[in-house]
């Protein structure tokens, strides 16, 4: 047993991951204060045990017990650190719930992230994935973040360029994976927001609600309604949201596909590339609503794999591989998992 005072042994992680996979951590600690993180780094335990940083557990699939240390980042706080006529800088602790933060911004008239309403997870995890929805990504409002080097305990600031944001990607999924702990994230949000309602689903929902001049609050409400109608609540049905990325392909390839599949859905990405709708590809292969034991594909959204109560991570992963294979066999397209497999 480590000497670090807040360690617990053999702790179930079921309530700490949105798939509700019942695995355990050999050692578990909750980090609420910066001093606790410094203590953990200086304890020497990280030289003997692998470390897994856990936020909201909304983008991971556990396939077995964690043999090392799980550190649950749970620091809280939202602070407006600067303001001018046009915008505000808001600094948020990594352990804050993402949707709670979006709600805070909407209620205060801070625009820019309302399209990202109801995305599960914590603030500290959002830059890792460069989370996005309905035409908006984190990088659009991101200012900087503070992260702690696990080796040295040094606190470093990363600006937007240094984060190397891409489609559901960043430096924290690549070179810095497992090497730093994101501690705070700062956003620049607009006090004169321009709403983004280009995605048809948002515009249709606003029109159905009789909203002609939408505010950020209207957009947030519309996004919540859409997401609740299409996606399962992780508290009620285990899932990690979109399991696969929308694949990007050359437009020539997409046009060839469209000759065989006239209803193919894709979106221009520039540089002669388009993004295919992974959910549509999966649905065309007959997976929507599929269930095998406790593992399945959601009945309303083929992009979401679900745990119907007692699935093992291996069951979900096996299903994911079958889906990947069938999509490749039919369309020649390789689906990449968005979820981190642990």
Active site residues: 168, 242, 338
Q: Can you tell me the distance from the alpha carbon of 131 to that of 141, in angstroms, rounded to the nearest whole number? A: 12
Spatial neighbors of 323 by CB under 8 A, at least 6 apart, are 244, 282, 285, 287, 297, 335
Nearest 10 degrees: Cα torsion 314, 315, 318, 323: -140
Q: Can you tell me the distance from the alpha carbon of 132 to that of 317, in angstroms, rounded to the nearest whole number? A: 24
Q: Can you tell me the distance from the alpha carbon of 82 to that of 120, in angstroms, rounded to the nearest whole number? A: 27
């Amino acid at each position: 047993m480590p000497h670090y005072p807040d360690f617990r042994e053999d702790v179930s992680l079921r309530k700490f991951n949105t798939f509700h996979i019942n695995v355990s951590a050999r050692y578990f600690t909750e980090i609420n204060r910066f001093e606790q993180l410094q203590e953990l780094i200086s304890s020497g335990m990280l030289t003997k045990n692998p470390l897994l940083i856990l936020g909201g557990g909304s983008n991971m699939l556990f396939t077995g017990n964690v043999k090392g240390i799980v550190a649950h980042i749970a620091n809280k706080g939202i602070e407006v650190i600067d303001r001018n006529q046009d915008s505000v800088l808001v600094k948020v602790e990594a352990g804050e719930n993402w949707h709670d933060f979006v709600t805070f911004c909407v209620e205060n008239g801070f625009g820019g992230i309302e399209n990202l309403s109801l995305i599960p997870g914590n603030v500290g995890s959002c830059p890792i994935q460069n989370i996005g929805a309905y035409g908006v990504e984190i990088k659009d409002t991101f200012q900087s973040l503070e992260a702690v080097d696990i080796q040295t305990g040094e606190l470093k600031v990363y600006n937007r360029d240094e984060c190397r944001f891409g489609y559901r990607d960043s430096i924290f999924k690549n070179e810095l994976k497992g090497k730093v702990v994101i501690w705070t994230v700062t956003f620049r949000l607009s006090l004169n927001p321009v709403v983004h309602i280009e995605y048809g689903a948002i515009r249709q929902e606003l029109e159905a609600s009789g909203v002609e001049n939408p505010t950020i609050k209207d957009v947030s409400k519309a996004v919540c309604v859409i997401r609740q109608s299409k996606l399962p609540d992780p508290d009620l049905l285990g899932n990690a949201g979109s399991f696969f990325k929308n694949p990007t392909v050359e437009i020539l390839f997409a046009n060839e596909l469209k000759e065989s599949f006239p209803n193919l859905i894709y979106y221009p990405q520039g540089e002669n590339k388009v993004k295919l709708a992974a959910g549509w590809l999966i649905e065309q292969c007959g997976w929507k609503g599929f269930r095998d034991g406790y593992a399945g594909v959601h009945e309303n959204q083929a992009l979401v794999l679900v745990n119907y109560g007692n699935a093992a991570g291996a069951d979900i992963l096996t299903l994911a591989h079958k889906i990947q294979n069938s999509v490749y066999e039919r369309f020649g397209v390789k689906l990449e998992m968005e979820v981190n497999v642990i």
